[in-house]
């Protein structure tokens, strides 16, 4: 069941006769390198493996749908855990490898790899008992694959079915980062004696995906909670979103934050990261991609501030973060950050724009 | 002088109505990240800086052409060294930044940034005295930008003009690499208990760009010399190619090699790297990207062997390497490696194919 070329979905930039920006997105998953990186992320892959192998009751004799199967690793875990049948949907060329891997490992009878887009393929069954997916991108929402999982849930999940993982949350903290900001941002002020500060403006606007040392953390870490928001699901998103219940929609939202300093220090950047959990297991399972946890391939997302904020213990850096899918390429994310501090040593109020691409 | 969309050149894969594989190549240079990496490669950038600033006589009152100018850094060095005028050609969006950088640094009168393809733009002058370019790709020839430099030379270089750099050479050696081969290649044999060896076949076929420890070197390092070859310029390529004289053409060639073991060891891979030199300077200048030199962003190019070769001191691993531009995407490289050893402990003869993309 292979899906041939198809018209662009709404919001997809049409690049040529038959390729859209989405095709280039899927092309990036055709190379084995990205799968090697994900498989070798043991926090990620071992978490899924443990969830599946230690909770056979969720899979035994069940129909499972694996959304964005890649090499098929999660499908294989599910098959081994006793699933009745697993449908593994993968749009990139890696689907051909997944088919071969399934065959090589003797699971052809249990796993059916379907090459195509979730939004376009047909399943041979009307309903599934379990939807499993590793859909999380940088900053949780980059790549916007969550919508695809929600599409699959709404179309195929049985009334008493489960989505794995079923909870995810976005967190924010503030860090001291003088040395690295100097290297990544101020660098452009003087490049072999020349002023390239126009590139610095670009560098400032792009969230930096990198590993943050937990000793850099200056404030508390806050679970982002949504304030006024027209979208039902987003209320869920930021007081831990419930993937089994939330509704799909445009991921445009504004969340307020208040970060309280735990020591006297400078703040150079805000750092976002996410946690994921599987609450349907015998015991609560999950993982964090925060700077205090073992590092993952998602690292953290660093948003540099225009100002170097001087903050004293107990003082508050407050503001709001607005996140929206980019209109031109919906897998990209536009972020607007408002922050303010009215402290003893520093009074600042500023709005900054970022683009994750 | 901006070049609008243009038809695909011969050999370019047409991806859509108005974008070719070349457009995606240039897009990759639109992001500042790649320029940051190249600028921070001090072996690369300091070498060019030293060549230019320590040899003013090459630039003083001369007309200079900078092929693939990027941020314009080389043009700025040349302007500072007293060039009469510098034409900086850059096809990617980075050209807009280069224009702003030139202006910010007060060189608008001396440097003209031209956004467009070298093969398509027009220069306001009939001839130039100097062509400077940093055209080298991984494995020296990846990205195939040398042809663009040769095109510019043939079209615009004055009879007594100079090309910088004017010499480049490709080198080959053999390494012991048990640990990393295990991690990068054998990994696919057992991924969380599953056999993914079909991906191993892909991984074997792709030259790995990575930094090799000089202690891994088992044999001598050989400057590749060309044997039978129909292309005049390739005779130059591999007994150090002379960029000021060689002719342009399809970079398809076969070079023989003989690597002599300097100790008893295993050989897991062949490693290619290149050297570049500027022979028109007061004294010979240049740099090496080999494993015995300070590492650069080009690292080295590792070709894993199917066999683990056991070699004794003094024994020879011989063979040939055939390099050709990929027919579908001429910036990609197809490599065929033939190797044989008839040693005391190991007798092997094999042909392997690689694809660099």
- The verdict on a CB contact (< 8 Å) between B199 and A104 is no
Structure tokens at A318: 């407050």
Cβ distance of B49 and A187 shorter than 8 Å: no
- Establish if B42 touches chain A: CB-CB under 8 angstroms: no
Q: What pLDDT, on a 0 to 100 scale, did the predictor assign at position B14? A: 41
B134 annotated active-site: yes
Whether residues A17 and B16 touch (CB distance < 8 A) is answered with yes
- Contact yes or no for B49 and A101 at CB 8 A: no
Is B197 part of the contact surface with chain A (CB cutoff 8 Å)? yes
Sheet holding B333-342: strands in order across? B253-260, B316-325, B333-342, B347-356
- Per-residue pLDDT of B270-315, as tens digits, reads 999 999 989 999 999 999 999 999 999 999 999 999 999 999 999 9
DSSP for B45-60 reads HHHHHHHHHT-GGGTT
**Cβ–Cβ gap A73/B192 under 8 Å:** yes
- Return the residue of B nearest to A37 by Cα: B184
- Check residue B20 and give its pLDDT: 53
Contact predicate B164/B157, CB 8 Å: no
pLDDT at B7: 38
Whether the per-residue pLDDT at B345 is higher than 80: the answer is: yes
pLDDT in tens, chain A (357 residues): 333 333 344 434 443 334 455 565 667 888 999 999 999 999 999 999 999 999 999 999 999 999 999 999 999 999 999 999 999 999 999 999 999 999 999 999 999 999 999 999 999 999 999 999 999 999 988 887 888 998 999 999 999 999 999 888 889 999 999 999 999 999 999 999 999 999 999 999 999 999 999 999 999 887 775 332 223 233 333 445 677 777 665 557 788 899 999 999 999 999 999 999 899 999 999 999 999 999 999 999 999 999 999 999 999 999 999 988 888 887 789 999 999 999 999 999 999 999 998
Q: Where are the strands (E) in A295-346, listed by range?
A: 300-311, 316-325, 333-342
Please name the residue of chain B whose CA is at the shortest distance from the CA of residue A195. Answer: B105
In the numeric block, the tokens 């107990």 are attached to A314
Question: B39 contacts in A (CB within 8 Å)?
Answer: 191-192
What is the distance between the alpha carbons of residues B157 and A273, in angstroms, rounded to a whole number? 54
Q: Does residue A195 belong to the interface with chain B, where contact is any CB pair within 8 Å?
A: yes
Residue B331 burial class via C-beta count within 10 angstroms: exposed 0-12, middle 13-18, buried 19 and up: buried
Which of B29, B97, B196 has the most A C-beta neighbours within 10 Å, making it the best mutation to test the interface with A?
B196
CB contact under 8 A, B32 and A203: yes
Q: Is B298 on the interface with A (CB under 8 A)?
A: no
End-to-end CA distance of chain B: 32
Question: Cβ contact (<8 Å) for A191 and B97?
Answer: no
Residue contact B77–A192, C-beta within 8 A: yes
In this complex, the residue of B19, B71, B203 whose CB is nearest that of residue A15 is B19
Using a CB–CB cutoff of 8 Å, tell me whether A190 touches chain B.
Answer: no
Helices (H), A107-162: 146-156
Return d(Cα B259, Cα B272) in angstroms, integer.
12
pLDDT at B147 (0 to 100): 86
Q: Which pairing describes strands B128-133 and B157-164: parallel, antiparallel, or unpaired?
A: parallel
- Chain A nearest CA to B340, separation (Å): 29
Does residue B190 sit at the A interface (CB-CB below 8 Å)? Answer: no
Q: Give A28 to chain B, closest Cα distance, Å.
A: 13
Q: How far is B270 from chain A (nearest CA, A)?
A: 21
DSSP run (H or E) holding A274 = strand A265-278
The predicted pLDDT at position B29 comes to 85
With bands split at pLDDT 50, 70 and 90, how would you rate the model's confidence at B25? low
| Residue A304: alpha-carbon gap to chain centroid | 20
Contacts of A103 (CB under 8 A, 6+ apart): none
Which of B12, B36, B119, B134 is catalytic? The answer is B134
Q: How many CB atoms lie within 10 A of CB B349?
A: 11
Kindly report the backbone phi and psi dihedral angles of residue B346, in degrees, each rounded to the nearest multiple of 5, phi listed first.
-155, 125
Residue A337 has a pLDDT of: 97
The helix/strand/coil state of B39 is helix
pLDDT of residue B225: 52
Q: State the average pLDDT over residues B32-39.
A: 96
Half-sphere exposure of residue B204, counting CA atoms within 13 Å on the CB side? 19
Residues of chain B with pLDDT > 90, as a percent, come to: 72
**Average pLDDT over chain B, rounded to an integer:** 87
Question: For residue B48, how far is the Cα from the chain centroid?
Answer: 16
Residues of A in contact with B192 (CB under 8 A): 39, 45, 49, 73, 76-77
Between vectors from CA B45 to CA B117 and to CA B151, what angle results, nearest 5°? Answer: 30
Distance CA(B317)–CA(B258), nearest Å, equals 6
Tokens of B260: 């002599």
Q: Residue A94 and residue A273: Cα distance in Å, rounded?
A: 28
Chain A interface includes B222 (CB < 8 A): no
Active site residues per annotation of A: 134, 143
B208-210 and B253-260 as β-strands: parallel, antiparallel, unpaired? unpaired
Chain pair A-B, CB pairs under 8 angstroms: 87
| A182 and chain B in contact, CB less than 8 A | no
Whether A249 contacts A233, CB under 8 Å: yes
Q: Looking at residue A23, what is its pLDDT?
A: 61
B15 vs A19, A76, A184: nearest CB: A19
Structure confidence by residue, pLDDT tens digits, B211-248: 999 999 999 887 775 332 223 233 333 446 677 777 66
CB contact under 8 A, A32 and B199: yes
- B182 in contact with A, Cβ within 8 Å: no
Residue B341: beta bridge partners? B348
CB contact under 8 A, A101 and B194: yes
Cβ of B6 under 8 Å from any chain A Cβ? no
Residue window 261-280, chain A: list those with CB within 8 Å of chain B. Answer: none
Contacts of residues A234-239 at CB distance under 8 Å and 24 or more positions apart, as own/partner, are A237/A168, A237/A170, A238/A169, A238/A170, A239/A169
Gap from B257 CA to chain A (nearest CA, Å): 30
Q: Do B195 and A71 touch (CB under 8 A)?
A: no
CA distances from A106 to A60, A99, B285 (A): 18, 11, 60
- Nearest by CB to A199, which of B16, B71, B198? B71
On chain A, the residues whose CB falls within 8 A of the CB of B76 are 192, 194
Asked whether the predicted pLDDT for residue B162 surpasses 90, the reply is yes
Q: Is B312 on the interface with A (CB under 8 A)?
A: no
pLDDT over 70 at B352, yes or no: yes
Q: Do B101 and A39 touch (CB under 8 A)?
A: no
- Rounded to the nearest 10°, the torsion over CA B279, B285, B290, B296 is -120
Say yes or no for a CB contact (<8 Å) between A104 and B202.
no
Tokens at residue A73, please? Answer: 């690793």
Give A52→chain B minimum CA distance, Å. 13
Task: Please check whether residue A285 is in contact with residue A51, taking contact to mean a CB–CB distance below 8 angstroms.
Answer: yes
Residues counted in chain B = 357
Question: What distance in Å separates the CA atoms of residue B90 and residue B74, rounded to the nearest whole number?
Answer: 12
Q: B124: Cβ–Cβ under 8 A, 6 or more apart, which residues?
A: B87, B112
What Å distances lie between residue B121 and A10, A67, B2, B78, B102, CA to CA?
Answer: 37, 47, 8, 21, 20
């Amino acid at each position: 069941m292979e899906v041939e070329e198809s018209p662009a979905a709404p919001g997809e930039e049409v690049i040529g006769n038959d390729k859209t920006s989405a095709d280039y997105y899927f092309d990036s998953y055709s190379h084995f390198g990205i799968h090697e990186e994900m498989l070798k992320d043991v926090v990620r892959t071992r978490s899924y493996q443990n969830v599946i192998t230690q909770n056979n009751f969720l899979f035994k004799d069940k129909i499972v749908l694996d959304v964005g199967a890649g090499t098929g690793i999660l499908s294989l875990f599910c098959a081994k855990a006793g699933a009745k049948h697993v449908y593994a949907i993968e749009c990139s060329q890696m689907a051909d490898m997944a088919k071969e891997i399934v065959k090589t490992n003797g699971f052809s009878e249990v796993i059916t790899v379907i090459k195509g887009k979730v939004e376009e393929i047909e399943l041979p069954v009307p309903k599934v008992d379990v939807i499993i997916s590793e859909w999380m991108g940088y900053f949780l929402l980059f790549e916007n694959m969550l919508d695809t999982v929600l599409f699959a849930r709404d179309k195929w999940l049985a009334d008493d079915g489960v989505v794995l993982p079923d909870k995810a949350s976005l967190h924010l903290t503030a860090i001291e980062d003088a040395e690295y900001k100097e290297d990544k941002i101020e660098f452009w002020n003087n490049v072999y004696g020349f002023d390239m500060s126009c590139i610095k403006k670009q560098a400032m606007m792009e969230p930096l995906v990198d590993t943050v040392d937990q000793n850099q953390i200056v404030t508390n870490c806050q679970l982002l909670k949504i304030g006024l928001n027209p979208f039902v699901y987003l209320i869920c998103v930021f007081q831990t979103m419930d993937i089994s219940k939330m509704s799909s929609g445009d991921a445009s939202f504004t969340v307020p934050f208040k970060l309280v300093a735990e020591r006297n220090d400078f703040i150079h950047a805000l750092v976002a990261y996410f946690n994921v959990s599987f609450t349907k297991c015998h015991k609560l399972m999950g993982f964090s991609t925060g700077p205090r946890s073992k590092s993952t391939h998602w690292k953290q997302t660093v948003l540099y501030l225009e100002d170097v904020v001087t903050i004293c213990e107990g003082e508050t850096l407050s503001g709001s973060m607005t996140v929206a899918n980019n209109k031109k390429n919906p897998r990209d994310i536009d972020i607007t950050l408002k922050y303010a501090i009215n402290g003893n040593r520093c009074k600042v109020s500023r709005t900054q724009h970022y683009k994750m691409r």
